[in-house]
Amino acid sequence: MEGRLGAVQALNSMTDDAVSFGRFRFDLRRRELFRDESSVRLGGRALDVMHALAAAKGDVVSKTDLLARVWPGMAVGENNLQVQISLLRKTLQEDTSGESYLVTVPGRGYRLVGLDTLAQGPALPDKPSIAVLPFENRSDDPGQDYFADGIVEDIITALCRIRWLFVIARNSSFSYKNRVVDIKQVGRELGVRYVLEGGVRKDTQRVRITAQLVDAASGMHLWADHFDSGIVSPKAWLAQSRGSWSRPRSSAPSASPPTALTPTTTFCAQWRAHIE
């Protein structure tokens, strides 16, 4: 049985009986988690949660569904589920990045990311949706990773203030840190239409921020630019374009989908206008 599973995994990386992601594989039939083909010991409740998430194969599983599956017929608080989620999140971490394959989808539930499959992820929300991936640290000092992460966190915070925009949470976006990813796959896994990626180069007196807005459905770059300045807050960088934000004007039903973008040529506001 194990030999047959290994052969199938080499061809497809995922079957009806097993789900693979990174160094991990979960055998749905045996209800067993493997890391580098070594068994990982989990408690009964954690195994129940893991099985439900793996069986969904990248789709979101709501808290209500998890509570019903793991504690059938019992009235338990969400904190019981959170204990198991925290345990699994730590178990499914990558050694290099510290990011987990188990992510929270705000307001919807939990899901596994990075599955070795081309299956479709969650459906797109009914409004513009975006994920801001961790920016690359392009400085000579590896210790500046924290600065690049701070840039991304401030961008996510600023975008979350736009009520009509669906923004993926920081923990979900950062599951892709230090990983070579395909933007189309990111869009499928997180259920977003647009992805913002970029890099930060910082020295003692200057900082350059570059960013690219990508259509996750087609992989096409919609906009790219850079910003050079002295050491300033990323919030100040974003605030420069605030006065130029505008929602797209209405158009004929056949002209574009509801989440279509209307570009503008305003410097530094371009990528913001693309999602408004």
Choice between 60 and 124, residue whose per-residue pLDDT is larger = 60
Position 232 scores a pLDDT of: 52
Residue 151 clears pLDDT 90, i.e. is over it = no
- Going by pLDDT thresholds of 50, 70 and 90, the confidence category of residue 130 is very high
Q: Using CA atoms, how far apart are residues 19 and 28, in angstroms rounded to an integer?
A: 8
Position 233 scores a pLDDT of: 55
Q: Read off the pLDDT of residues 14-28 as tens digits, 9 standing for 90 and up.
A: 445 788 888 888 988
All domains of the chain in start order, with CATH: 12-112 (1.10.10.10), 129-274 (3.40.50.10610)
- Average pLDDT of the chain is 76
pTM reported for the whole predicted model: 0.49
Residue 70 clears pLDDT 90, i.e. is over it = yes
- Going by pLDDT thresholds of 50, 70 and 90, the confidence category of residue 258 is very low
Residue 114 clears pLDDT 90, i.e. is over it = no
The lowest-confidence range among 33-37, 136-140, 265-269 is 265-269
Q: What is the mean pLDDT of residues 249-264?
A: 34
Choice between 9 and 68, residue whose per-residue pLDDT is larger = 68
Choice between 196 and 261, residue whose per-residue pLDDT is larger = 196
Q: Read off the pLDDT of residues 26-56 as tens digits, 9 standing for 90 and up.
A: 988 889 999 987 899 999 999 999 999 999 8
Position 236 scores a pLDDT of: 57
